[in-house]
Structure 1
Amino acid sequence: MTYRVNSWGNGFTAEVTIVNRSATPVSGWTLQWAFGANQRITGSWNVSLTQSGRQVTAKNAAWNASLGTASFGFQGTHDGSNPVPDAFTLNGTACSVG
């Protein structure tokens, strides 16, 4: 998966792209991660997003549940520090950011 961020002042947008490189089809996905600072999501597109503290959960939309490649984005705020999140998991399995 990739995580691209555009940060300014105390705001940012991020684009996440997930690619299923497995031979096993994925029908329905949940991506979770942990923010490393005080980032807060204020809006999103192409995904259902929830946040509890630093933990974020992204669930597929109905039309992108069958995972080949899926992209989604969100906007948010931060308190001057906006590190790349860590602890990404896809359907409970750790995944790398690259």
Structure 2
Amino acid sequence: MSENDIDRLAAMVDEEVERCRRAGAAVDALPADPQQAAAVLARAAQKADQPVLEPFEGLRFDDECDDRDQLRTMGVFHWTTVLYFALWNKAQYEAEHGTVEG
């Protein structure tokens, strides 16, 4: 949403989709046993021993992982807590855009 060039924006979307695919593959590669998965995840966070686990590298499990106030973790600090958006009802929409044809 910070890019004006349509080609660059499309490339950024493609990059994000690929990161999501890699993250999903990393989760799928974890063992089914929760204790084994936790051990693999902890090791991979330090240094992935398999390319599929690389999305876990650098993952932190401490209370300071976001280094923001603890009420707004995971980057939510950057989002407002107020929704500045309101839906129009049909009459308001038609007044602004004309009659809705169904």
- Same fold judged by TM-score > 0.5? no
Q: TM-score, normalised by structure 2?
A: 0.22
Q: TM-score, normalised by structure 1?
A: 0.22
Structure possessing the higher radius of gyration over alpha carbons: 2
Structure number with the higher helix fraction is 2
Structure number with the higher strand fraction is 1
